[in-house]
Structure 1
Amino acid sequence: MFGRRAVRPSGEQTPLAAAADAAAAFGSATDEVDEAVAEVLAVNRTDLRILGLVDAAGTMTAGAVAEAARLSPAATTAAIQRLVAAGHLRRDTDPDDRRRAVVTVTPETAEVIDRLYGPIGEAGHRLLTRYTTEELRLVTGFLERGRAMQIAQAARIRNTARDPGV
């Protein structure tokens, strides 16, 4: 989002700079899709992230949601309450431990999520069928290493934010 472009003085990008810019633009486009879905569901981006985490897991405790979303217990409780009130999450008793609650995405919200994100997955799959097996291995390797790099950089930034000298 805030990355600097590596452009030759002539204005012509190097292949490395073009690839870096394309990766950044892909991330921005993904953010744009998530913003659109959040608007349709009438939730904020943090609540959308929680919905995504719970949808992927099937069922989660509030503690697991807090850990996965990197939120405080109080912020997680408030978000879960908002999402339950909006009809996006359902709170039930944990069948393995009757003393604690678990949350799941409601069937109605799951259907909306599938309707909104499903065509993106289908279009992406169609796009990927244009590539050879070797090209797909290259793309997969880049995405896996890029994801690991992004997670490491997020951790670095969080650690920097804890440093009072920054």
Structure 2
Amino acid sequence: MDIIFNNFRITPLDINESENFFNLIDRNRSRLEDFFAGTVLKTKTLQDTIIYCQNIRDRVLEKSYFPFVINDLKTDTFIGLIDVKSIDWNIPKAEIGYFIDVDYEGQGVISKSLGLVIEYLSEVYQFKKLLCRANSSNIGSIAVAKKNGFTLEGTIKQDYKTTKGVIVDLDYYGRVFS
């Protein structure tokens, strides 16, 4: 899978690009630590990130996790991540998460990228439902979800523990495919 639009490319994360992935996380670490807690925790150093990416490869082969990176072709820099997790092949459904580098916020890159990945997932894997979770204060993430056809299904109280140990409510957004 290789999707190109404007000056950006979306591809599955390749374990040989651990350093680029580490740099993306490291540039955005402080803003990701609460809601990409697992990824941030497992990528504290480049060596940690190499091991994490090797583990990701195994999860991809098991079809239990699909990470996609967004690359700025002008700078050859990773600028975003869209990951597909909590996959239930019985339905089939999955949770989708995403973020964009702070320098690319508000430009529509993550909205467009998410739409293209969703199209790919629905065609190739024929998911019947995708979910995304967001804290109600994360206005940007909610806007991206809504632009891509997700609707609020409800709020789950005390649903997530941040890296600071705070337990917060999360809004669940879903999108159903026929």
TM-score normalised per structure 1 = 0.27
Q: Of the two structures, which has the highest relative contact order with CA contacts closer than 8 Å and spacing of 6 or more?
A: 2
Structure with the larger strand share = 2
Structure index of larger Rg: 1
TM-score normalised per structure 2 = 0.26
Structure with the larger helix share = 1
